[in-house]
Structure 1
């Protein structure tokens, strides 16, 4: 049966791509059922899955090389894959901010999609709250397999166009590790630091040249790969004054070698190619934070730099507005830096001033609405105010008003499947804190809108207790009312249900002192 269907698939060129896949899938399904009749399913499932994806790739590559003139004219690419532990039943494909399509997963959590009239470049796919970039060029046939419990680390591409995407994802993961090393290097003197990061950049360039010598690369891929190396290098330069232990940041800037920021004269602050690429955006955030130090130093009388200074943050928004002309880049930068300031600042008046500055500069209607709502919610959560009435559901499916269970000093933290590492790390930390501070009740709330079973399964998998664990009855409304950003946010409430701290962090060196102050009130 398999042989007969493959013969139809390859010999009859009038068979459409999707018809071919259906034929092929049916044949493989039949083979799978045949095998399971005689063999142990558990043993053969892994082998069969490899056969399935390898065969799909053969079909994709065969069809890609077909001499049909209509295929030659059309610019297209295929993208497909399998999602393990899916959080939704679909994948969303984007080009910049525009949604290309919402693609449903089949009953095996797989999908296959043809991008017609392909505009080559960086795309992104989103599943749940997680997303990742993918480079698509004409005639690519890229499949991937990922596990949502370890999203980036589990992502592997296969097929035509896979090598360049595996290169990019591996480079992304390596850079996450390198960042910690860079932070340590920042304590070195400027000249030694510059020599070290110059060496790191040289190694990356050498690695890319080695990749290029072994694989044929397109001009577009080469441009992106080299831009990655450059933006990592530039970001390392821009963070130096902030991470260096000295408190007088202006003095640190003056101590740098004259050529330290020479690359700035060639920077394009409105790069359409990199507009939605995380490394470019990260670099821009660091750059504008750094450039604003100079302006801030001119009219600041602060003895030590305070990154939450109202003056400094207004200077930063003003500088972005003056240098960035690309509306999308400007709106994203303004939004990220504004919400970061407002979420961590305790002064309501200053928050309102920064919000007003943001609203006057951005063109994003969505951003204006979201940040206005976020700021208003934070203002309602000021220290000393009553904790809002929020409905919770425990893992026995019993509904509670959160204030009915706050009867002693309480720390309220949040988690999401989107931030899997935070989920594991925070629960381990909470275990330690519960033993150390029995006077405090630690309430933990899953903010996802997946129902009870998925978070319950996650807790069980890692052997975390479901005691004092809840989900929101209305996740979107509750998350908005509690202004949950960033995910590390923890709220401290006293026995009288009064807010003591509306945004702290269990990993902060100050957190345990805050708990002791609460206990001793």
Structure 2
């Protein structure tokens, strides 16, 4: 145990011991089945709540105590993957019978600061390390995608072999459960499969159809063993992300067979309808099917399609989804998009400035304005967007750039995030009512930018500051 852990965790260990004693006393009157504990300490909390979920179902809402700690006891535990949510940060954890897990994390660097101790810690720290390694590996894989298919596969196989050897060594030393083995192996396999699904779309030398035709015959041999309905892995990020890219690939091929369009267009209505049909035909698990369908539909709605195409995709989604909440949300969302079409006045929302003063957005618009958004939990976008706007402010002083934080948490945390990164607080705001404002402005994805003229009339409600055409839009905005 490190010196840090020796000083930080003794009190938490005491809490677990006390809980165990209480549990023993209660065992005579209540059958609790398999039990486990999850608790911990949050540094720089964004609010005072931690919510524990199994899938989409909230199991417990816990208030942080005076020392920013929380504790939950699982009764009649179903072994598997759970998540705990703090603000907009989410972390997955593997809980099995008799685990007594303690977590310590800092919200300023959520994933990288997270460490587990206690019974069950080794397996979860291993899974966290796998996740962080995969994040770092993403850029490496994108570079490898510029190699020919044979060399790409060879290099990818080497990366996979190293991971399998590391897992084998961990398992030999720690003898983890079969459930852990299944999840850890799935992490390796589905990240490997996902890289292969991405390859034809990331290899620049040819169009996507030519790339697919040039692949070795057994490049997608793993597809014959894909389980589209894995109940154990349905909540697991690598598995779910693989399915998204896999259906992207299948839909592109099927759409090409219909239209002979050899260039991938993820914004095509026909492509997205084909993708939903494939999901519906191959996935029976309701949770997976409904989420994959919703992901496809909402991405299309935010691609800038016209109202008529949105209606057709909406009807396809409503026909195939069984999730009533998502169906209602999709109807509401597409109606909201109608209000955000160019030529309409931007719906007014209230924001709060860095001094705590509440103001209306319409009162901040006196010249051509670009409104962009950020979250302190999406750190890369937070930093990249602010640096990009700093550059654009120098080139386009005629434009008013307004930055709006979307988080619904500690009202001072967003300011601390800005100050810690050295960003100027002028023209920085947060939503007074984040949930209502995000619904009013259809804020998905977060990288959208809303452009309005000096009268508050919408010019583009779905611009992207990182798109090469964005500066052309700014020039058009100031020249009108």
TM-score w.r.t. length of structure 2: 0.93
Partner residue, 1:392 = 351
**Maintained 8 Å contact 1:77/1:141:** yes
Matched, 1:430 2:389: yes
2:67 aligned with 1:141? no
1:303 positional shift: 5.3
Query: Would you say the 8 A contact 2:46–2:410 is kept in 1?
Result: no
Distance 1:249 1:127 in 2: 40
Partner of 1:274: 233
Residue aligning to 2:337: 378
Q: Quote the residue 1:238 is aligned against.
A: 197
Deviations 1:300-349 (Å, cap 9, x if unpaired)? 14353312111111100010011111111100100111111111223222
Aligned to 1:38: none
Which whole-Å CA distance do the structure 1 matches of 2:303 and 2:461 have between them? 9
Matched, 1:97 2:56: yes
Given the alignment of the two structures, is residue 304 of structure 1 paired with residue 253 of structure 2, yes or no?
Answer: no
Instruction: Report the Cα distance in structure 1 between the residues aligned to 2:433 and 2:319, rounded to whole angstroms.
Output: 32
Q: In the alignment, does 2:36 pair up with 1:85? A: no
Which residue of structure 2 aligns with residue 410 of structure 1? 369
CA contact (8 A) 2:208 2:262 kept: no
CA distance in 1, matches of 2:179, 2:263: 45
Measure how far apart 1:498 and its partner are.
Answer: 2.1
The aligned residue for residue 323 of structure 2 is 364
1:1-16 to 2 correspondences below 5 Å? none
Equivalent position of 2:211 in the other structure = 252
Residue 419 of structure 2 aligns with which residue? 460
User: Offset of 1:375 from its aligned partner?
Assistant: 1.4
Aligned to 1:49: 8
Asked whether the 8 Å contact 2:42–2:104 carries over to 1, the reply is yes
Question: Aligned in 2, Cα 1:175/1:283: closer, same or farther, shift over 3 Å?
Answer: same
The 1:392/1:54 distance shift into structure 2, 3 A limit, reads closer
Q: CA RMSD in A?
A: 2.5
Q: Given the alignment of the two structures, is residue 503 of structure 1 paired with residue 462 of structure 2, yes or no?
A: yes
513 and 141 in structure 1: CA distance in 2 versus 1, 3 angstrom threshold: same
1:181 correspondence with 2:140:
yes
CA shift, 1:389, in A, is 1.9
| In structure 2, distance between residues paired with 1:374 and 1:56 | 45
Within 5 Å, which residues of 2 pair with 1:16-31?
none
2 CA distance for matches of 1:45 and 1:492? 48
Moved more, 493-502 or 191-200: 493-502
**Secondary structure, aligned partner of 1:344:** coil
Give, in whole Å, the separation in 2 of the partners of 1:391 and 1:214: 56
Q: 2:221 & 2:405 partners in 1: Cα distance?
A: 47
Alignment of structure 1 residues 52-71 onto 2, 5 Å: 52-53=11-12
1:120 aligns with 2:120: no
Structure 1 pair 134–383 and aligned structure 2 pair: CA distance change class (3 A): same
- Measured in 2, the distance between the counterparts of 1:147 and 1:408 equals 40
Q: Using the alignment, how far apart are the partners of 1:69 and 1:195 within structure 2? A: 59
Long gaps (5+) in structure 2: none
Task: Give the deviation of 1:83 after TM superposition.
Answer: 1.0
Q: Tell whether the 8 Å contact from 2:37 to 2:73 is kept in structure 1 after alignment.
A: yes
* SS at structure 1 position matched to 2:235: coil
Q: Deviations over 1:221-268 (max 9, x none)?
A: 111111111101110111111112255322221111110111111111
Q: CA deviation at 1:156?
A: 0.4
Identify which range, 408-417 or 356-365, moves more after superposition. Answer: 408-417
**Aligned partners of 2:347, 2:353: CA distance in 1, in Å?**
18
Question: Structure 1 pair 245/64, CA: closer, same or farther in 2 (3 Å)?
Answer: farther
Query: Pick from 503, 514, 518: which aligns with 2:473?
Result: 514
What corresponds to 1:8 in structure 2? none
Alpha-carbon distance between aligned partners in 2 of 1:397 and 1:65, rounded to the nearest angstrom: 50
Q: Residue in 2 aligned with 1:16?
A: none
> What is residue 206 of structure 1 aligned with on the other side?
165
1:479 is aligned to 438
The CA deviation at 1:58 is 7.1
CA contact (8 A) 1:144 1:156 kept: yes
Deviations 1:254-309 (A, max 9, x none): 11111011111111100001011111110000111101122101111435331211
For structure 1, the residue ranges without an aligned partner over 5 or more in a row are 1-43
What do residues 74-125 of structure 1 show as CA deviations (whole Å, max 9, x unaligned)? 4111110001121222211112222221122111110122111111111111
CA distance in 1, matches of 2:296, 2:451: 25
| 466-475 or 182-191: bigger deviation | 466-475
CA contact (8 A) 1:60 1:141 kept: no
Separation of aligned partners in 1, 2:67 and 2:281: 51
User: Is 1:442 the equivalent of 2:442?
Assistant: no
